[in-house]
Amino acid sequence: MTAIDAPTIRETPPDSGRSIPAELPALSIERLSHSYGPRRALIDVSFAVAPASFTALLGLNGAGKSTLFSLITRLFGIQSGRIGIFGHDIGQAPGEALRSLGVVFQLLCLLFAVYHSVTWFAVTPKAMPLSLGGERVADKTIVGVHYAAWGLVSLIVLVAAGI
């Protein structure tokens, strides 16, 4: 069976005129290597991810997970090897390859967390008034303590991550 007459697993919107053959992996990494100067982050990595599957990438700090995602999303250029998304080579047809990929960057999640914290901290004193020794604690004090705690936890996470 060829890729042209293979059954499809997902039809793209009718106006695109494209479909994805079932035999193509959603993601294929072939003999991928990447170095930062003399330091080799990825050495001859190969694997494939089947369409419609749940896959986790686990590894120790410095194992190359972030480097791999940076290569897949084209934040870094490929030095050696090949990356394919639904049969489209990232190096040869990046637009076609990346069109099928959805990425949420950590910075966006951080900004969302900050926004959520700001709005939550503003609502908390009204939703949960606190009393100490029979006196109500001022809203500004509650919000200040929340910000201080959030800042401390954020600092601990950043230090633990080596940032």
Based on C-alpha coordinates, what's the Rg of the chain?
23
Closest by alpha carbon to 106, among 55, 58, 65? 65
Whole-number average pLDDT of the chain: 78
Alpha helices in 19-105 (DSSP H): 65-72, 94-99
Compute, in degrees rounded to 10, the torsion defined by CA atoms 126, 111, 102, 54. -60
Statement: the pTM of the whole predicted model exceeds 0.85? no
Write down the domain spans for the chain: 8-99, 106-161
> 55, 45, 50: which is closest to 86 by C-alpha?
50
Higher-confidence position of 21 and 2: 21
Torsion sign across C-alpha atoms 76, 80, 83, 87: positive
pLDDT, tens digit, 9 for 90 and up, residues 85-138: 999 999 898 888 888 777 666 666 666 677 776 676 666 666 667 788 888 888
| CATH T-level fold of 8-99 | Rossmann fold (3.40.50)
Separation CA 53–CA 10 (nearest Å): 13
**DSSP SS3 for 132:** strand
